[in-house]
Structure 1
Amino acid sequence: MQIVFMNRLSKNASSDQELFAQLWIGEEEGVWSLGWKDFSIAEETVDNIWYEGGSWSEMLCVYRHELAVKMGEGYRPLIEGIFHEEDSLPNRNTEHLKLQFYSEQHGNEKIYEELCAWRRGRSSSERKAPYILASNRLLRLLSTFLPYTPEELLQLPGVGQGKAAQYGTDWLAITSAAPREHQFPLSWVHNEIDDESFVSWLYKQKELKYKKQLERLRMRRLLLQGIECGLDMEQLKEECGVSRRDLLEAVEELEKDGYSVEKLIVQELGRMPQNEQEEVWNAYVELGDVFLKPVLYKVYGNEFTAPGGLDLYYERLRLIRIRFRREYTDVSAIAANY
């Protein structure tokens, strides 16, 4: 095996002890290997293999995730920039991240729960997903820094004029009722943060980010293998361990990225009458393919209901839309060449 990359890392275990480790990437006949060797133990060192396989992109994803875990534990590399991506952050983003870090350490749980209760109620009344109204991160910021005025509210990252106008009065009614010991602006936060703890937290955020990327990459591989083997949606759901909705979104992404999912579409639409499929297609031609509800009403009527719910009907609309977009993209590409 040929070693194509290697780096040495160290970690201060105590005031008088430093731990060392080695990270390496190797390649042999198209097979990538990724490993970690810990030199901190007394017995003979053994490579801990993180990845072995033929996919460079999957190996790189595993590399970034596992490295972020180690750096979150306190290891630091001899050679910087080892994530093979842009590590530097604009100063403004760094300040925002410090506010987020501080809010996770010093949040007011009582106010946070009140804000969460507000979000649940507003989400139900507006029929919107909770995260559209406000993310957990934003509620943490609100509960920690407790703005009293609209001007203070706008100093928090994630609060723009639109959000402030829409929900600011509700938020301030909750946050301004709580006593606070600090003031705005929040420039004082910088001096309250331990730099090493903040850096470790940043690597924890990278770990979570790369974990999601890795899960997505592995699901795509399982999905492609399953489609090729003739699995249907329910079997793919069990194989990938995700909901049918998430599965369908992944299928749409695969099609967008140039992979063929026609085998799955044929199987899933096999139980849908051909004339019904044609009506859906014609509705897309007439109404466009951006929104599904108008197409559903066009084909089945405004008062349409189904005993088991509408999920299956929306699934079929989305599968037919994949075909529709594929054909019209191909037609547009041909027309562009003339």
Structure 2
Amino acid sequence: MEIVFLNRLSKRNEQGCEDFAQVWIGQHEGRWSAGWSTHHVPDESIDDLWYEGSLWQELLHVYRHELALKMAEGYRPLIHGVFHEQKGSSGRGQTLQKLYCYSDLFPRDEVYEQLTMWRRQKAATERKAPYLIATNRLLRLISVYLPHTEEELLELPGMGQGKVSQYGTELLTITKQNDRTTPFPLNWVTETLEEEVFLSWLYKQKENQYRQELNKFSLTRAIIEGISEGLSLEHIGIKTGLHRKEVIEAVEHLDRDGMDMKKLILKELEHVSEEEQTAICSAYAELGDTLLKPIMLKVYGEEKATEAGLDQIYERLRLVRIRFRHQEVPDRHVG
């Protein structure tokens, strides 16, 4: 095997001594591998194979996730850039990350519960999704730093002038009921947080991010494999654990990314007459392909669509829309 990347890492153990490890990526006859070697005593190591396969992108997702776990444990690299990604945030971006870090490490749960109860009531009154009023992260910041003025509210990331004008008075009514032990401005946070504590928190955030990316990649790969194997939407759903509607949404996304969906669409539409498909395409040409309801009403009518089953009709419309958009591509480039 040819080693194409190798880096040494270390961390201090409970006895104050350094533990050493190596992370590596190798390649042999078109197959990639990545792993971790822990060195407990000279000339003795324990190897952990993280990945072995033919897909570089899959290796990268697994490698980043596993490495973030190790760095959250306290391992630090001899040479930076171990994640093989664009340079991380610095300056203002890192300052904001430290505000988030402190709020995670020193929560005020009782205040946070007050704020979430206020948000639920406000969302019900305004008929909005709760996150549109304030995200969990923003409420966490407010609960920990306890601003007492509108100017202090504006110091918190995610709290713009619009939200302050709309909700500031109500939020301050809650925060002023609670004693605070830390001042504004918040520049003390950077000085208070120990660098190693912050780095471990930061790598934990990376681990969560990379786990989500790995799950998404694995799911996408399973869908692509299912399509290439000639599976139906139903069987792809069984293979991936997704609801049928979620599979169609994934298929639409993959189509936009340039994946060939013809095989699957032909399979799913084989019981739909050419006359019906032509009527749907004609409706798209006349009304546009953004909204599905006008197409449904024009082709089927409300009563007929309800009788046939709205879920089935909308699924059919979405699949035909993929075909329609590919048929329309040459016309869009004319002239």
Question: For residue 319 of structure 2, what is the amino acid of its counterpart?
Answer: L
1:23 aligns with 2:23: yes
Distance 1:163 1:300 in 2: 44
Alignment of 1:267-286 (within 5 A): 267-272=267-272, 274-286=274-286
Match of 1:255 in 2: 255
Q: Are the aligned partners of 2:305 and 2:313 in contact in 1 as well (CA < 8 Å)?
A: no
Question: For residue 21 of structure 2, what is the amino acid of its counterpart?
Answer: A
Q: Are the aligned partners of 1:25 and 1:33 in contact in 2 as well (CA < 8 Å)?
A: yes
Q: Are the aligned partners of 1:8 and 1:79 in contact in 2 as well (CA < 8 Å)?
A: yes
1:154 aligns with 2:120: no
Match of 1:109 in 2: 109
Question: For residue 45 of structure 2, what is the amino acid of its counterpart?
Answer: T
Offset at residue 32 of structure 1 (A) = 0.5
- Structure 2: gaps (5+ residues): none
Question: For residue 191 of structure 1, what is the amino acid of its counterpart?
Answer: E
Question: For residue 116 of structure 2, what is the amino acid of its counterpart?
Answer: C
TM-score (norm 1): 0.87
Distance 2:323 2:42 in 1: 61
Offset at residue 271 of structure 1 (A) = 4.7
Paired residues, number: 335
Q: Are the aligned partners of 2:119 and 2:134 in contact in 1 as well (CA < 8 Å)?
A: yes
Larger mean Cα displacement after TM superposition, 65-74 or 266-275: 266-275
Alignment of 1:26-45 (within 5 A): 26-40=26-40, 44-45=44-45
Q: Are the aligned partners of 2:62 and 2:214 in contact in 1 as well (CA < 8 Å)?
A: yes
Q: Are the aligned partners of 1:232 and 1:268 in contact in 2 as well (CA < 8 Å)?
A: yes
Match of 2:228 in 1: 228
The root-mean-square deviation of aligned C-alpha atoms, in Å, is 2.8
Question: For residue 329 of structure 1, what is the amino acid of its counterpart?
Answer: V
Q: Are the aligned partners of 1:38 and 1:45 in contact in 2 as well (CA < 8 Å)?
A: yes
Alignment of 1:37-186 (within 5 A): 37-40=37-40, 44-124=44-124, 126-186=126-186
Offset at residue 259 of structure 1 (A) = 0.9
Distance 1:331 1:180 in 2: 64
Match of 1:322 in 2: 322
Offset at residue 52 of structure 1 (A) = 0.5
Offset at residue 229 of structure 1 (A) = 1.7
Distance 2:284 2:11 in 1: 59
Question: For residue 64 of structure 1, what is the amino acid of its counterpart?
Answer: R
Q: Are the aligned partners of 1:297 and 1:304 in contact in 2 as well (CA < 8 Å)?
A: no
TM-score (norm 2): 0.88
Superposed CA offset, 1:90-116 (max 9, x none): 311111111111111222212222332
- Structure 1: gaps (5+ residues): none
Larger mean Cα displacement after TM superposition, 304-313 or 132-141: 304-313
Q: Are the aligned partners of 2:72 and 2:200 in contact in 1 as well (CA < 8 Å)?
A: yes
Match of 1:238 in 2: 238
Distance 1:121 1:278 in 2: 48
